[in-house]
Amino acid sequence: MTPKLHIIIFLYCELNL
């Protein structure tokens, strides 16, 4: 797994919140 993907998921979670 790439670190970029992890950042995208984190940002997605923040947007959903």
1-17, pLDDT tens digit by residue? 688 999 999 999 999 98
User: Token pair for residue 4?
Assistant: 């970029």
Q: What is the Cα–Cα distance from 17 to 7, expressed in whole angstroms?
A: 15
pLDDT of residue 7: 96
Distances (CA, A) of 15 to 1, 5, 7, 12: 22, 15, 12, 5
| Residue-level pLDDT at 12 | 96
CA distance 17 to 3: 21
3-class DSSP assignment, residue 17: coil
Q: Which pLDDT score, from 0 to 100, does residue 1 have? A: 65
